[in-house]
Amino acid sequence: MFFFINKFYFNFMNRIEEFKSHLAPTKERTFSYKNKFYDSIIEQINSYKEKIISIKNYSPLLSLEQEINSIKKESLLDKIEVSCNSDESMHYEGIKQIINLRITKLLLKIQKKKKTLLSFSIELEPEKPSKSLEQHNNTFELENIKMKEKYESSLLSVTKQRLKEIDVLQNLIKNTLMEQDERIDNVIKSTKEVKGNFLGSNEYFKKSVFLGRRMKRCLIVFLFCEAFVLLVIYFSRKLI
């Protein structure tokens, strides 16, 4: 019994290996990605993150800040108009908002880095009076407030645009539902008219059948009476 089971097991495994050898090798699917014009901008923004961390002096930080500010001007994202459908337009607006948000975050990191460098005096420059430090701090705070207001205004504009699109969609759904209600009312009205016509024709048919039966009965009685009169006349003549 054990020998039989062992033989059956080895035959089964050999058949499985034979089946595997006949299977076609699987091919990996590769998808080609077409680079967009804004991919280089995003890569450039990502490279600035490490630069901000590695900078230890104040002057290179200022030059890096100027480079970051020039990204938006050179890219001309706000001036580019895309002629496409609504979904692609919304996608492009989202990309612009993401790029602007990342630039704003980089500038905020630079401002924090500036404060750190000034507070610890890492760069060996001539000593500055306390008033100049206060002025710098005030300037940084004003710049932070302006960037925050700009970011909030951009988010507000995007939110307003989304609300307008939602309002248009709601009006479209409302108009569609009203049209469907009118169609349903027309169908109900026509159904009632058909039902009324059917009931009227049914009653007319019943009346006509009833009148026909009465006419038949009257005609039979009339013919019977006429036949009886003719028989009476006929027999009376014979008797005479």
> In the 3-class helix/strand/coil scheme, how is 179-213 assigned residue by residue?
HHHHHHHHHHHHHHHHHHHHHHHHHHHHHHHHHHH
**How far is the C-alpha of 109 from the C-alpha of 124, rounded, in Å?**
22
> Would you state the pLDDT for residue 143?
79
Q: What is the pLDDT of residues 87-143, one digit of tens each?
A: 667 777 777 788 888 888 888 888 888 888 777 654 445 544 455 556 766 777 777
Q: Produce one character per residue of 132-154: b if its CB has 16 or more CB atoms within 10 Å, e if not.
A: eeeeeeeebeebeeebeeebeee
- Residues 162-166 have a mean pLDDT of 86
Q: What is the pLDDT of residues 45-103, one digit of tens each?
A: 888 888 888 888 778 888 888 888 887 666 666 666 666 676 667 777 777 788 888 88
Find where tokens 């006929």 sit. Answer: 234
> Would you state the pLDDT for residue 79?
61
Q: What angle do CA 25, 29, 33 make, to 5 degrees?
A: 160
**Nearest in space to 90 (alpha carbons), one of 170, 175, 171, 166:** 166
**Nearest in space to 61 (alpha carbons), one of 113, 24, 21:** 113
Q: Is the predicted pLDDT of residue 6 greater than 60, yes or no?
A: no
Q: Is the predicted pLDDT of residue 150 greater than 50, yes or no?
A: yes
> Would you state the pLDDT for residue 76?
60
